[in-house]
Each structure stands twice: as structure tokens, then as C-alpha cells.
Amino acid sequence: MRNFPLSRGTVAGILKGYIGLSAAVLTEVYIMAINESASKLLLFLTLGIPIICLGMMYFVRPCTPAGEDSSLHSYFAFTQAACVTLAIYLLTTTILKDILSLSNSVCYTFVAIMIIFLIFPLAIPIKMTLFPATRKNFEELAGSLDNLVTGEGDSNHKVPLLTPSASATYLGSIDENEDYSDVEILLAVGEGAVKKKRRPRRGEDFKFREAIIKADFWLLWTVYFVGVGTGVTVLNNLAQIGVSLGVDDANILLSLFSFCNFLGRIGAGAVSEHFVRSRAIPRTIWMTVTQVIMIIVFLLYASALNGTLYIATGLLGICFGVQFGVMIPTVSELFGLKHFGIVFNFMQLGNPLGAILFSALLAGYVYDNEAAKQEGSSCLGPNCFGLTFLVLAGACGVGTVLSVILTIRIRPVYQMLYAGGSFRLPQSSDH
């Protein structure tokens, strides 16, 4: 967020998209490279992942914030294309592995191609290193960053709250018996020598304790909690849902959900970035739209109509991914970047808490009761999750109403931040 403050939605979508693909990548390694060996998988997770993280740690650091530059859009487009290509490739190879018997050499080839797709984005820093931007381009970027900080493109001078003449006039009207030191303080505040503290406004940098007393904070948290909590409930129980509706092999369902989840994450970042720049539409409008769709999806699940399982799973995957791609840049825009980490991580609590409430307590309880009625360890039929889906649909209805309220409340903030078609930092408060 700090390195690319002018492309927050795009960056969030790409990062969350790759995170969404990580499970599919590890599954590909597990199935095709180590032949489903549990011991080799544990060894890879114990040693391989930390080594990769340590090797990449140096490259994840604060850099000079990127300004408005046409080349950035092409770089982001290339990264998005590489990400989508990888996702399609993973989905294709998973289906092929599921329906065909592949030799070890073919599996190893698939994994090697996957690694090539993974490192495609490295072409961007290599190109920027071998063919650096000219000095003219660098000066244009510097000027763009100055505009970002000051909020104006043609003036960098500071205008005091009160001019000296105005301050002097005000001083002359003070009663002669008033303490002279108080007059000096008033004059200093007016001329900018002393900065008066005030609470931050939406769009400025909030401390965590300042953010949690805002209604917008809890509205966003609740909307996110409902969106991801209901979605992760289906994800956690997708295998049982498939079995209860007559689909014994859940691999295709899981692959479909993961692929659509990725599309939702990367698409939410790109689409919300376009509309927030062109029309200053708050990003949360897309949480509203997707939660309306989720209501329909849960009703489809509850109806158990023939041919709707895969359609509902794909739609839910997209809507589930949108919640992640929208929440991250919205938090940074409403509450600033200075304390973004702690605010964002608190928002993330909506995911595990939603899983506990909707999946473990609700879905697990309903499923066990229905299985007990059938006198077996597993449950078959639409009643296994029917009540759960109706409750999830109702929860999304509440989330939709709250997201509409939130969108209306923060519309003026986005009109201020994106008034000129690009992000503009508000004047920071000193607190």
C-alpha cells in the first residue's frame, strides 16, 4: 500500500490473488512432484517454505512511492495477465490429473511449467534494472509525488491560517487587561507556529484506538465478517455438501471454487480501481453487489436443483474473493496508511470468527443432527445443509443493508480523495 499509494486496489487484488492461488500451487506440488507423500510434504513445508521466505525477505521493503506513470499500468497489466494464466493452467492440470492417469515425467513437466509461470513477474524488475527510466521520466514521477503530498499541482507554498495583518488586527481588539501570554499563543496558532491538535477525519491517518470508535470501522468490519464468514463456511464443508448432493469427488468443486475465488480477488481490485478513479464510486458498492448475489447462491444451494451445484459454487467463489479485494484498499483509504497494519489485521479477524460461528457452530450442528436422524456417520440429501444455507442467506441480507449504509456514508470521502480522477492525500492532522 505504501509503495503504490495511487494503485491500491490493483495491488491488493494482485497480492490477494496470488495468496488465493497458493493452495492450488502447493496442491500441485503435493500431487505431482512428491507423489502424495505425507512425509515429503511435511519436510517441504518445514524447510522449503521458510527458505523461500528468507530468500525473498530482502525484496519486501518500503520503497519510494510510485507516482502516476503510464508504464506502471502496463506493468500491472502484465502481472495480472501472468496471474490469470497461472490460474487457468492450475485449473487445467488439476482436471487432467483427476480424469487421466499421468506418468511421473508428465507430472514433473507440469510442475516445471507451473514454476515458470510463477516467476513470470520477475521480468518487470529485470527490465527496469537493465533499461532504467530516463531522467525526464524520473522528474515527472517526482513532480507527481509532490502533487500527491501537497494535493496541488501548481503551488507548493504554505498559506497560514491567519495572515500577519489579520493577526495584528485581532490582537488589537483584545482587551488590555487580558494576559499577554494568552495573546501570544493565540497569535502563534493563527500564524501556524503552534499546531492545534484535532481528531483525524476519514481519509487521514488514524491510530487504532481512534479508528475503533468510528461507526464506519464497525460497519466495514461487520460487512466483511458476513461476506467471508458465510463464504468460508461453504468452502470448509464443500466436500460434505458435494457428497450430500450426490457428488462423490469434490476435487473439481474445490478447484472451481479456488479458481473463481482468485478471479474475484484480482477482479475486485482492478474493477473497483477503475470506477473509483472514473466516478469516485466507493469500493464497498462491490461488497453490496456480491452479497446480493450470495443471497441468490445460498438459496440455490438450499433448493438442491439439478445442475445448479457447479454454477452456485463458481458464483460463490467470485463473490467470496471480492470481499478480500475490496476490504484492503478501503481500510487504507478510510483510516490511512500510518497504522494500516494493525487496523487491517483486526479486520482480518472477521474470517476466523465467521468460520467459528457459521461453520463450526451452525453448519456442524445442523449436519450432525441430520446425520443422527439418518442413523449414520454421514448425511445425504438437501436437508443436511438446508437450514444452514437459509441462515447464511439471511446473514448476507443483513450484510447487504449495512454495506449500503456504509457506501452512502463514505461517498463524500471518495469524492474528496478522487476528485481529480486520481488519489489525493488529505491534509494530515497532527495527533
Q: How many CB atoms lie within 10 A of CB 316?
A: 29
C-alpha 340/C-alpha 206 separation (Å) is: 8
Convert the pLDDT of each residue in 40-97 to its tens digit.
888 888 888 889 889 888 887 777 776 666 678 888 889 999 999 999 998 888 888 8
Convert the pLDDT of each residue in 150-195 to its tens digit.
444 444 445 454 444 444 443 344 344 444 455 555 555 555 555 5
Convert the pLDDT of each residue in 232-258 to its tens digit.
999 999 999 998 888 877 778 888 898
204 three-state secondary structure: strand
The pLDDT of residue 291: 97
Q: Which of 349, 340, 344, 347 is nearest to 207 (CA)?
A: 340
DSSP string, 7-26: -HHHHHHHHHHHHHHHHHHH
Where are the domains positioned within the chain?
A: 8-131+204-417, 161-197
Q: Which of 337, 361, 340, 348 is nearest to 425 (CA)?
A: 337
Convert the pLDDT of each residue in 189-213 to its tens digit.
555 555 556 677 877 889 999 999 9
- Report the amino acid identity of residue 124: I
CATH topology of domain 8-131+204-417: Growth Hormone; Chain: A; (1.20.1250)
The pLDDT of residue 132: 79
The pLDDT of residue 172: 44
Cα dihedral 398, 401, 402, 407 in deg (nearest 10): 150
Q: Which of 203, 265, 228 is nearest to 348 (CA)?
A: 228
- And the C-alpha cell for 398? 443483513
- And the C-alpha cell for 109? 513437466
The pLDDT of residue 169: 42
